[in-house]
Amino acid sequence: MSFEDKPLPNPGDQRPGTAGTEAAIRDNLLRASKSIREAEERLERAKRAERLYKVKKRSASARANRVEAKAHFREAFEHLGLSIRLAWSVVQSAPYVLLDKRELRRLQAESAESEPAETIRSVTETQQHAEGARPVARNESIRGSMRASVPGSVQGGRERVRSGDVRSID
């Protein structure tokens, strides 16, 4: 935009003259200072009101938090007492727990010992039944019955043959 394209100001919108008396200038300054003081006072009152609002709001929140914390502490102490009583009960019952575990281990060891014997016995009985040999009596030793059931095994100088008859190996 060039200088020539700019619009000219209206003659009625011109700036008023700067001529004024000293009294008028003081009057303007006094009015300005009064309005500035009033504005500062209003600002201080607003700041004070804002601080009071925040204080009330935060104090109400703090009271609510205190009540909730008190309830939590009460519950925590109850749980602490309960946990101490239960821990004492566990300490008093520890020998019984240990005896129970010992008995459980003993039963597991017995079942582990008898389980292979039962499987060997059942396998032996199945093999002997299939071969036509007499079943092994329960009171016979498992190892002896196992050796006796395996063809070609030697037991006391004798060999058991598939057909079930016994021959001497001398």
Question: 73 pLDDT band (50/70/90 cuts)?
Answer: very high
pLDDT at 153 over 70: no
Evaluate the CA torsion angle 134, 135, 137, 143 in order and state its sign: positive
For the CA atoms of 38, 41, 42, 47, what is the dihedral angle to 10 degrees? 160
| Predicted model pTM | 0.35
Q: Which phi-psi region, left, alpha or beta, contains residue 140 (left: φ > 0; alpha: ψ -120 to 50)?
A: beta
Query: Looking at residues 84-103, what average pLDDT do you find?
Result: 94
SS3 of 74, please? helix
Query: Looking at residues 12-28, what average pLDDT do you find?
Result: 63
Question: Which is more confident, 68 or 117?
Answer: 68
Express as a percent the part of the chain with pLDDT over 90. 34
pLDDT at 108 over 80: yes
pLDDT at 66 over 80: yes
**What rounded mean pLDDT belongs to the chain?**
75
* Residues whose CB is less than 8 angstroms from the CB of residue 8 and which lie 6 or more positions away in sequence, other chains included: none
Q: Amino acid identity, residue 3?
A: F
